[in-house]
Amino acid sequence: MSKSSVGLMEQAHDYILSLIMTKQLTAGQRIPEVKIAEQFSISRTPVRDAMRQLANEGLIEIYPNRFAEVKQYTEREIREIGTLRVAFDTTAVRLAALYGSRADFLRLLDIAEKCAAALQEGDESAQLQYDCDFHLELARIAGNALLVKFQKELYLRVQYIMLTHPNYVADQLRHAREHFEIAEALIDSKEDVATNMIVTHLTESYGLKDYYPAGFFDSYQGTPGA
């Protein structure tokens, strides 16, 4: 693919992504492929390439030779993502506790503050971005390049789910406060507390304990009461 073709594809990708993330295109709605091509005065090829990329990113479903539509996540798919996040984030916390510095954790705390401020101001877009930024920063502090890569691939899905499922987090204020508690535990070198908090933070957000046997997540947690 030539540089010009890549540029056209990226332009179409970013435009469709913006339509989805601003709810101008909603779950189950078809992607107006022809209209987008006409709007940018381009062929349908880069638009289709953009849709394939968005499908790989988990935001649209493509039905070959028919149409593409904005993805509708099932409750099972959401739980699967939540289960994966528990594994990723507990690993990130433990590695961050091992390799992170006070400056790293203060930066994490700053993101938590921005997320809470966006929530109070009713800025949903910024809140979702800072929420994901918090967890991505945790992975970066962990210093594992593959973990960062996998988290980045996952978090566009996470943002979309949080956007399209307003009841995904029942208590938004508590959810935001837990970011502070995780960062503060890391600042105080309390790895087990931070690990327990991240497990609680995610299992409650996704309602995972209702779908797994009692004690299923115990192996992810630190020493009780640490």
pLDDT digits (tens, 9 = 90+) for 158-208: 989 988 886 666 678 888 899 999 999 999 999 999 999 999 999 988 889
pLDDT for 168 equals 63
pLDDT for 162 equals 86
Q: Are residues 11 and 84 in the same domain?
A: no
DSSP letter assigned to residue 188: T
Please check the confidence at residue 2 and state whether its pLDDT lies above 70.
no
Q: Are residues 182 and 204 in the same domain?
A: yes
Element (H, E) at 168: none
Q: Are residues 169 and 80 in the same domain?
A: yes
Mean pLDDT of the chain: 90
Distance CA 142, CA 193 (A): 17
Q: What is the pTM of this model?
A: 0.85
User: Residue 202 falls within a domain, yes or no?
Assistant: yes
How far from chain centre, in Å, is Cα 146?
16
Domain boundary among 70, 100, 115: 70
Q: Quick one: average pLDDT of 197-226?
A: 82
Please check the confidence at residue 102 and state whether its pLDDT lies above 80.
yes
Q: Are residues 42 and 129 in the same domain?
A: no
Structural domain range at position 31: 3-70
Q: Are residues 198 and 213 in the same domain?
A: yes
pLDDT for 86 equals 95
How many domains does the chain divide into? Answer: 2
Q: Are residues 89 and 162 in the same domain?
A: yes
Q: Are residues 22 and 46 in the same domain?
A: yes
User: Residue 225 falls within a domain, yes or no?
Assistant: no
Q: CA separation (Å) from 150 to 89, 92, 210?
A: 11, 12, 26
Please name the residue that has the structure tokens 């910024």.
Answer: 126
Q: Which amino acid is at 100?
A: G
DSSP letter assigned to residue 31: P
pLDDT in tens, 52-61: 999 999 999 9
Q: Quick one: average pLDDT of 214-226?
A: 72
User: Residue 226 falls within a domain, yes or no?
Assistant: no
Q: Are residues 62 and 132 in the same domain?
A: no
pLDDT for 4 equals 66
Long-range contacts of 11-17 (CB under 8 A, 24+ apart): 11/40, 11/42, 11/46, 12/36, 12/37, 12/40, 12/42, 12/46, 12/47, 12/49, 12/50, 13/50, 13/53, 13/54, 15/40, 16/50, 16/51, 16/54, 16/60, 17/54, 17/59
pLDDT in tens, 27-85: 999 999 999 999 999 999 999 999 999 999 999 999 998 999 999 999 999 999 999 99
How far from chain centre, in Å, is Cα 98?
24
Q: Are residues 82 and 186 in the same domain?
A: yes
pLDDT for 169 equals 63
Domain boundary among 18, 52, 70: 70
